[in-house]
Amino acid sequence: MYGKGLLKGLSVTGRNVFRKRLTEKYPEEKPQLAARWRGGFQLDVNECIACSLCEKACPNSAIKLTTEKNEENKKQLASYELNQSYCLFCGLCVEACPKKCLRFTREFETATYHKEEVKLDLFKNQNLSASASIYAQPEKATEAARKEEK
């Protein structure tokens, strides 16, 4: 009978009408993002040893940092800029950091009104209050973070 296939298909659609809704009610309900989410960045300036490995790891030269000598003649960070408009969010910088002080955050609403805000000045604004991602962090730290979440 012509139209039998259509009816068979409609029965599938009919069954799905009564299925649990899958759509997230964003922005009222915020999504649960993965623990390794690569959203924004944070930098613990006190931990940073100004080795510029992150700058060298970056495929797109999105990171620009300058260093200076302090009173004890030790190298320290003088400025740190991450231009997100060139960033691939590949994570190679975070993986390269020996002190694990450059980290991803689990932010996702990163759209801005002004193009100047796309550049992150992580020296002035370390963004440490944002929820940190466990991407490329040592096992111990990630376990602690998981416990805290629970």
Partner 1 sequence: MKTQTYTLNLGPQHPSTHGVLRVVLELDGETCVGSKTHVGYLHRGIEKILEDRTYPQVIPYTDRLDYLAGINNNLVYVQTMEKMMNIEIPERAEYIRVMLAELMRIASHMVGIGIYIMDLGAISAVFYPFIEREKILDMMAHLSGSRMTFNYMRIGGLAHDIHSDFKPELDKFIVEFPRFIEDYHRLIDDNEIFIARTKNVGTITAEKAKSYGLTGPNLRACGVKHDIRKTNPYGIYNRFDFEVPVGEIGDCYDRYVVRMKEVEESFKIIQQAYKELPDGPVMAKVPKLIKPPIGDVYHQTENPKGVLGCYVVSDGTPKPSRVHFRRPSFNNISIFDEIFIGHKIADIIAILASFDFVLGEVDA
Residue ranges in contact with partner 1 by CB under 8 A: 2-6, 8-9, 11-13, 15-16, 22, 33-38, 57, 59, 88-92, 95, 104, 133, 135-136
| Shortest reach from residue 71's CB to ligand SF4, in Å | 20
List contacts with ligand SF4 (CB under 6 A): 43, 48-54, 57-60, 62-63, 82, 87-93, 96-99, 101-102
Candidates 42, 64, 59; CA nearest to 127 is 42
Q: Provide the 10 A C-beta neighbour count for residue 86.
A: 14
**DSSP per residue over 54-104, as a string?**
HHHH-TT--EEEEEEE-TTS-EEEEEEEEEGGG-----HHHHH-TT--EEE
Residue 95 near which of ligand SF4, partner 1, none (CB within 5-8 Å, type-dependent): partner 1
Residue 101 near which of ligand SF4, partner 1, none (CB within 5-8 Å, type-dependent): ligand SF4
Residue 49 near which of partner 1, ligand SF4, none (CB within 5-8 Å, type-dependent): ligand SF4
| Closer residue to ligand SF4 (CB): 81 or 145 | 81
Amino acid present at 54: C
Q: Provide the 10 A C-beta neighbour count for residue 94.
A: 21
| Shortest reach from residue 73's CB to partner 1, in Å | 28
Residue 93 near which of partner 1, ligand SF4, none (CB within 5-8 Å, type-dependent): ligand SF4
Tokens 């039998």 belong to 4
Distance, in Å, from the CA atom of 61 to the CA atom of 126, rounded to the nearest integer, reads: 20
